[in-house]
Structure 1
Amino acid sequence: MQIIICGAGQVGWQIARHLAGEQNDVTVVDNNADLVRQATDTLDVQGIAGHASYPDVLDRAGARDADMIIAATHSDEVNMVTCQVAHSVFAVPRKIARLRAQSYLDAIYSDLYRRDHLPIDVVISPEKEVAEAALRRLSSPSAFDTQLFMEGRVQLLGIGLTDDCPVLNTPLKQLTDLFSTLRAIVVGVRRSGQLFAPEPGDQLFAGDDIYVLAHRDDKDRVLDIFGKAVTKQDRVVILGGGNVGLMVAQQLEGPEWRVRVRMIEKDRRTAERAADVLERTIVLNGDGLKRELLDEASIGKADSILCVTDDDKTNLLAAVRAKQAGAKMAVCLVNDPSLQGLMRPLGIDAFVNPRATTVSSILRHVRHGRVRNVYSVGDAEAEVIEAQVLSTSPIAGQLIRDIDFPEGALVGAVQKGGKIVKPTGTTRIEESDIIVIFALAADVPAVERLFQVAIDFF
């Protein structure tokens, strides 16, 4: 595929890295020549310095022959105009835009994106994605990472193993025998900073971070088996009253959660806006790093603190202070992936990576075949891919043990009709089945080829 990526920031760079690594013809466009140079020096991509929405710049980037354009600059308006130019001047078949402003995302204005109005095929909202990721963390407070698949019926759980885990030093095959009715599979293990897909004979050790794909009805049992308490969130403190914090608070106020929420926001105008919008949440104006304000928010009684300001270091420091003051759990929004290694030493329970959530959303619409969902694990170290099997897919009609999966890939769940089954070597993959596969980054192209059908590109 020939793909143009507009915006060489964190998200654009990560998408370019993914797609160039899969032998796509990628061109990066950015107004900042230094960012373009960094991308071309580091990645196997071409680069154009210039305004992404200018027709002559897109022409130089190869828009006449492009299969897709991904507009991920920092400006919503530039992204929208870029898609319009790509459609009207160059007839680019597929256009994806990242939009932040809530007014552009309101459902009552969705007619705006029709092909005869503003032709954008897919709108990605980073803040909405991040808010949903934060809510998933709060719904599984013992997991440091989580994502839903198969319309919420299967959940990926990232679990950090400690010395009190009851199944340490036990081969995974033996765990399968011990818990034969458990619909869950360990698909990934990170040990000493290295992520790998485990073999049946591998054991788990204290300090490992594991990724488990589990049926939602077995989630609590999975957490218990790996030594994690299952707790309900009754009191939550949110640090940061911007769009992300506001979306999360609104959800927590709703009938599904009905959680008591207190919010701390440093900027007075932002705090007043949040107080006007929220109905049951108490909004405090002040510095969340100050112990007195945390005490005023009853941090000692909080089940969780969710730190979602736009400053990574503030989020980390506030989370540490809140844990010291008695908060049972701390979740941080962290943009810089190099800081994620500090989570465990600092006692922070879970994090949300905005870049990873946005990258996952975009990849969902880029993958070949009938891919329904994609989640980027860690710092783009692996992907969890949900896809439907077509009659002409290479794996249709085969037993799992006979399929030539790459070494770094594992099947974690299979849906047959309306039923979720735990995959084994004798499970036959059939047409219309939906499967979820964990794959290390280097093995994603090989996994994708197992679903790829020439006449069914998207």
Structure 2
Amino acid sequence: MKIIIAGAGEVGFHLAKLLSYESQEITLIDISKDSLSYADNHLDIRVIKGDATSIAVLKEARVATSDLVIAVTASETTNITVCVLAKQLGSKKNIARISNTEFITHKDEVDFTGFGIDELISPEALAAKEIALLLKQSAFKETYQFEDGALTMVSLKLTRTALFVGKSVKEAAELFSKIHFVPIAIQRFGTQFTIIPRGDTQFKEKDTVVFITSSNGGEELCRMTGKANTPIKDVMILGGSKIGYKTSRDLSEHNFNVKLVEKNREVAFDLADQLPNVLVINGDGRNVELLEEENIEDMDAFIAVTGNSETNIMSCLVAKSKGVPKTIALVENMDYFELSQSIGIDTLINKKLLAANNIFRYIRKGEVVAMTKLNNMNAELLEFRVKPVSQICNKQIKDVAFPRSAIIGGVIRDGKGIIALGDFKIQANDYVVVCCLPRSIKQVEKLFL
């Protein structure tokens, strides 16, 4: 695919890096010479210095023959303008990064596609949504919903008391035949290898296992692994950023008791005016005495979303030491994900990764409805809509030539999630959730074309 990315900031560079690994034809546009020089020296892509809202610059980037334009500059207005111009100049699809989430809330009332924007993304809104879901599924370190929760992906580390530790997948399935979850990826403790489980794959203590669950599957999984979905009511949020504001607003609207700690006095007062149902505290969240004064030990969850990754990590560690059951830290450095298991923070989230996941489904072939990359694992979760002409249509799963490095996690039919086994017959208009390693993606895509 020919892809143009406007904006070489953190999101734009991360997207360019991921896409260049997949041998896509990438052109990166930015007005900053330094940002482009770094990208040019580290990635196999084409760079253009200039204003992405310039028609001449877009023509130089060969926008007329582009398959996708992704506008992710720091300016919402610039991104919208780039998409409008690109569509007029011949681009097939356009995605704009926005900060005003009203655009997403009211997209059914405003015809954004009519003037050239096929998709609106807000990394901050995606992060806030991810945090809300993690609080709902408090027992798990990672979670993702398909079709409003018809199927849900959850991730956890197995302890010695988990009922299926020491058993193979096949043995576990025979012992617990009426369960509503299935393992789709395993990472052995102390390794970076991702295993797509087969019948003879054995569950081991300290494995990080990713499951797909249907209705009630999460509760069953908790009971069998000794985890508990502890109800979360009292939440402390560190940082009055866009993510902190949106998370505080959304949680308070759903009857959570929220304390928001913001260091900047002026920002804190503005937030207090905008969030009448949130207790806003002006203070430095790195100050342990302040956290103790605000009864951090009584919190059910602590969420650190300042602009500094190290501050977020350290404050979450303090919260954990005070007995807070659930901690979530926003980080910019992807390398920190590898440390999350050893340092004791429950979940790390990253805006770049969330934005990339949202955009990547446009890169995949077949009718991809949703997609997410598994944190700290070399695997992707893809949701395909089955067409009447798809190779997989009207076949039982056991009869499909599926690569060994891929697995069907579940099927959504008529809005209901199903854990589909080998004798399940795939039909047209089913939504099929597949987990696969990168080497098998092309082979899987062909089954759904």
TM-score, normalised to structure 2, is: 0.93
Matched, 1:243 2:251: no
Q: Which amino acid aligns with 1:290?
A: N
After TM superposition, give the deviation of residue 173 of structure 1 in Å.
1.1
Matched, 1:11 2:8: no
Q: Which amino acid aligns with 2:208?
A: D
Residue in 1 that maps onto 2:192: 193
Residue in 1 that maps onto 2:433: 436
After TM superposition, give the deviation of residue 41 of structure 1 in Å.
5.0
Matched, 1:359 2:348: no
- Call closer, same or farther: CA 1:380–1:270 in 2, change over 3 Å: farther
- Call closer, same or farther: CA 1:216–1:245 in 2, change over 3 Å: farther
Residue in 2 that maps onto 1:65: 65
2:170 to 168, 173, 187: 173
Residue in 1 that maps onto 2:76: 76
After TM superposition, give the deviation of residue 108 of structure 1 in Å.
8.4
CA contact (8 A) 1:22 1:445 kept: no
After TM superposition, give the deviation of residue 287 of structure 1 in Å.
0.6
Q: How many Å separate the matches in 2 of 1:187 and 1:196? A: 8
Residue in 1 that maps onto 2:85: 85
After TM superposition, give the deviation of residue 402 of structure 1 in Å.
2.0
Residue in 2 that maps onto 1:233: 232
Residue in 1 that maps onto 2:223: 224
Matched, 1:30 2:30: yes
CA contact (8 A) 2:187 2:377 kept: no
- Give 3-state SS (helix, strand or coil) of 1:115's partner: helix
1:413 to 410, 415, 421: 410
Residues 28-427 of structure 1: matches in 2 within 5 Å?
Answer: 28-40=28-40, 42-88=42-88, 90-102=89-101, 107=106, 111=110, 113=112, 115-116=114-115, 119-191=116-188, 192-254=191-253, 257-378=254-375, 381-427=378-424
More divergent stretch after superposition (12-21 vs 293-302): 12-21
Q: What does the per-residue CA deviation read over 1:140-199, in whole Å, with 9 as the maximum and x for residues that have no partner?
A: 112111000122111100112233333211111111112211121110111212222122
CA contact (8 A) 1:68 1:93 kept: yes
After TM superposition, give the deviation of residue 52 of structure 1 in Å.
2.1
CA contact (8 A) 1:3 1:69 kept: yes
Long gaps (5+) in structure 1: 453-458
- Give 3-state SS (helix, strand or coil) of 1:344's partner: helix
Q: How many Å separate the matches in 1 of 2:20 and 2:107? A: 37
After TM superposition, give the deviation of residue 125 of structure 1 in Å.
0.8
Q: How many Å separate the matches in 2 of 1:151 and 1:303? A: 25
After TM superposition, give the deviation of residue 404 of structure 1 in Å.
1.9
* CA RMSD, Structure 1 to Structure 2 (Å): 2.2
Long gaps (5+) in structure 2: none
Q: Which amino acid aligns with 2:219?
A: D
Q: What does the per-residue CA deviation read over 1:271-309, in whole Å, with 9 as the maximum and x for residues that have no partner?
A: 112211223321111011111211122111111101111
Residue in 2 that maps onto 1:456: none
Q: Which amino acid aligns with 1:238?
A: I
After TM superposition, give the deviation of residue 18 of structure 1 in Å.
4.2
Percent identity of paired positions between Structure 1 and Structure 2: 29
After TM superposition, give the deviation of residue 263 of structure 1 in Å.
1.4
Q: How many Å separate the matches in 1 of 2:97 and 2:377? A: 19
CA contact (8 A) 1:356 1:379 kept: no
CA contact (8 A) 1:142 1:349 kept: no
- Call closer, same or farther: CA 1:83–1:417 in 2, change over 3 Å: closer
Q: Which amino acid aligns with 1:77?
A: T
- Give 3-state SS (helix, strand or coil) of 2:393's partner: coil
CA contact (8 A) 1:356 1:377 kept: no
Q: How many Å separate the matches in 2 of 1:108 and 1:66? A: 25
Q: How many Å separate the matches in 2 of 1:353 and 1:377? A: 12
Q: How many Å separate the matches in 2 of 1:112 and 1:426? A: 43
Q: Which amino acid aligns with 1:363?
A: F
Q: How many Å separate the matches in 2 of 1:41 and 1:379? A: 26
Q: How many Å separate the matches in 2 of 1:111 and 1:437? A: 33
Q: Which amino acid aligns with 1:432?
A: N
After TM superposition, give the deviation of residue 47 of structure 1 in Å.
2.8
- Give 3-state SS (helix, strand or coil) of 1:438's partner: strand
Q: What does the per-residue CA deviation read over 1:58-99, in whole Å, with 9 as the maximum and x for residues that have no partner?
A: 2221112112211112222322222122123x1212111111
- Call closer, same or farther: CA 1:221–1:8 in 2, change over 3 Å: same
- Give 3-state SS (helix, strand or coil) of 2:114's partner: coil
